[in-house]
Structure 1
Amino acid sequence: MHGLVNVLVIIAVIALVVLRQCSAQQISGDRRWWVLPGVLLVMALREPGLVDPRHEALSFVVLGAELAVGLVTGAGWAWTTRLWRAEDGVLWSKGTKATVYVWTGGLILRAALYGLAAAMGIHQGGPALMMALAATLLVRSGVLALRAAGMPQPYPDPAGVASFRPAWKDRV
């Protein structure tokens, strides 16, 4: 039953994340961006089957490769996400076409790793996938938080209306 629950959690998280990426999302100053990836990581670590006991060394190599793909996918996802500040000062984000390409590339690489592991007789369970997804979300959220912190803040002009100072690269 644990395997089914893990698969359902993974599908639910991916569906939630993809749905949120397809529409503009307001970015709050919330400092809890690490909570969902942290919960996934804890769930992955407490489940048996993170590594295949019959092929322990190779299983760790494949898991490391999956985590590397997850980290690169998360960073690419965050850097291809469009960030902007509305006239009222609210920060927004939305995935771009490049974000879709990053997601697709990450999924293809993960499927290739899974296929390679299966061809070598290494069993990869839900916990490994959950850990890689946690790494992806953690890096994506962290990079987005850093990018959001670097966005120009509104400042009141003499008339009391919020406006924005141009970013350094907007000045010529």
Structure 2
Amino acid sequence: MSGLVNALVIVAVVVLVIVRQFRARPIGTDRRWWIVPVILAVVALREPGILDAHHRTESVLLLAAELLIGLATGAGWAWTTRVWVEPDGVVWTKSTTSSVVVWIIGIALRVGLFALGATIGVHQDSSALLLALAATLLVRSGILMWRAQSLTPGVAPATAYGDAMPGSARKERV
């Protein structure tokens, strides 16, 4: 994909995720929460321009910093998200104003990294940003699933046929 298409995918995913997360919504603990981040990572890693061939070391360092910022943003976002259980047992989530602060800090740090890379002459492709977004979503979803599962009661063991029946009564001898 071209850089423009990657940029449009990034913007679309960010807008979709942010809009959805600031509305209260149920979270299913049995969903495959990791699929979207894995798809984003595969799309990002398919691109050949994720590292600058002329500045390989600097490019790797910038990518590592981008991933660390993505992981920290995902963790901060997950821990600032409100998670609660309704009386019917359904777990709900909703991002808070603290989550907005985490996003703003994460975006500011990413802009700073991009500026640093531009200053030292490293060509930066949108694939690095897409990979960091995948890391953000993966960490956030994983922590939210863990938090949601810790709030739901454990699964009761399944009963077998005859468990509810009283034990055998002995006949009394006369």
Kindly indicate whether the alpha-carbon contact (under 8 Å) linking 2:38 and 2:134 is maintained by their aligned counterparts in 1: yes
Helix, strand or coil for the counterpart of 1:83?
strand
More strand by share: 1
Higher Rg of the two aligned structures? 2
String of CA shifts for 1:18-59, please: whole Å, max 9, x gaps: 101111111012331000000000000001210111100100
Stretches of structure 1 lacking an aligned partner (at least 5 in a row): 156-172
Kindly indicate whether the alpha-carbon contact (under 8 Å) linking 2:91 and 2:152 is maintained by their aligned counterparts in 1: no
Counterpart for residue 61 of structure 1: 61
Task: Decide whether aligned partners of structure 1 residues 129 and 70 sit closer, same or farther in structure 2, where only a CA change above 3 A counts.
Answer: same
Equivalent-residue separation in structure 1 for 2:64 and 2:152 (angstroms): 37
Task: Decide whether aligned partners of structure 1 residues 76 and 143 sit closer, same or farther in structure 2, where only a CA change above 3 A counts.
Answer: same
Counterpart for residue 15 of structure 1: 15
Structure 1 length-normalised TM? 0.86
Task: Decide whether aligned partners of structure 1 residues 127 and 95 sit closer, same or farther in structure 2, where only a CA change above 3 A counts.
Answer: same
CA shift, 1:7, in A, is 1.0
CA shift, 1:2, in A, is 1.6
Q: In the alignment, residue 153 of structure 1 is paired with which amino acid?
A: P
CA shift, 1:87, in A, is 1.7
Equivalent-residue separation in structure 2 for 1:6 and 1:87 (angstroms): 42
CA shift, 1:138, in A, is 0.5
Structure 2 length-normalised TM? 0.86
Helix, strand or coil for the counterpart of 1:23?
coil
Counterpart for residue 35 of structure 1: 35
Counterpart for residue 123 of structure 1: 123
**Consecutive aligned runs of 4 or more in structure 1 exceeding 6 Å deviation:** none
Equivalent-residue separation in structure 1 for 2:74 and 2:104 (angstroms): 12
Equivalent-residue separation in structure 1 for 2:39 and 2:89 (angstroms): 31
String of CA shifts for 1:102-124, please: whole Å, max 9, x gaps: 11100000000011111110111
Equivalent-residue separation in structure 2 for 1:153 and 1:98 (angstroms): 28
Kindly indicate whether the alpha-carbon contact (under 8 Å) linking 1:41 and 1:131 is maintained by their aligned counterparts in 2: yes
RMSD: 1.4
Counterpart for residue 153 of structure 1: 153
Equivalent-residue separation in structure 1 for 2:150 and 2:66 (angstroms): 30
Please state if 1:81 is matched with 2:77: no
Q: In the alignment, residue 94 of structure 2 is paired with which amino acid?
A: K
Equivalent-residue separation in structure 2 for 1:116 and 1:102 (angstroms): 21
Helix, strand or coil for the counterpart of 1:49?
helix
Kindly indicate whether the alpha-carbon contact (under 8 Å) linking 1:89 and 1:154 is maintained by their aligned counterparts in 2: no
Q: Percent identity?
A: 54
Equivalent-residue separation in structure 2 for 1:146 and 1:24 (angstroms): 18
